[in-house]
Amino acid sequence: MQKMYFLLILLLSPLGVFASSVDVTANPPSGTYQSPVYITLTPTDSQAKTFYSFKPDGYPQDAFLYTKPILLKNSSPFIYFSIINTTNESKIKQNNYIIEYSSFIRFESESVSGSGKVNITLINSGSESVNIGFWQVQSESDRKVIPEGTMIAP
């Protein structure tokens, strides 16, 4: 009789109780890096929508929808989570990334007299090439763009 009662409970229990919850992982993990990093978020279910934010005290509705790897070029907390529906969502997670650029990289700039333009020089006094990521430098009338993935040789 106890076996029959147990089987009856199993049959009448909602199947959702046995379903696994969606989860999400971030790669690379928290850590200290010497150049910009691309953060890739991977949910355990392809139907999940994944969101991220840089504000640990922000609200989930303020998060951005993840669509492609995120270039992080400054130290920052990184908040992320995935959701399929209101009953199947991951925990809100936080990674901490510290970006420590080489002390061998220097940005020097000087105004070109009377033109409103700026000359920018990047100097690597180290012994290895360094990825400096994407940067924009702007003056009143000029803008310089350093493309994503720019490597500065010694």
Question: Domain locations in the chain?
Answer: 23-99, 105-152
* pLDDT per position as a tens digit, 102-136: 677 777 777 777 776 777 777 888 788 877 766 76
Token digits of residue 133: 């990521």
* Cα–Cα distance for residue pair 142/118, rounded to 1 Å: 7
The three-class DSSP label of residue 2 is: helix
* Cα–Cα distance for residue pair 142/88, rounded to 1 Å: 49
* Cα–Cα distance for residue pair 142/114, rounded to 1 Å: 12
Mean pLDDT of 18-43: 87
Residue partners of 51: CB distance under 8 A and separation at least 6: 60, 63, 64, 65, 66, 80, 81, 82, 83
What does pTM read for this prediction? 0.63
CATH of 23-99, one of 2.40.50, 2.60.40, 3.40.50, 1.10.10: 2.60.40
Closest CA to 51 of 92, 96, 85: 92
What integer pLDDT is reported at residue 121 of this predicted model? 79
* pLDDT per position as a tens digit, 65-116: 999 999 888 899 999 999 998 888 899 999 999 988 767 777 777 777 777 6
Proportion of the chain above pLDDT 70, given as a percent: 77
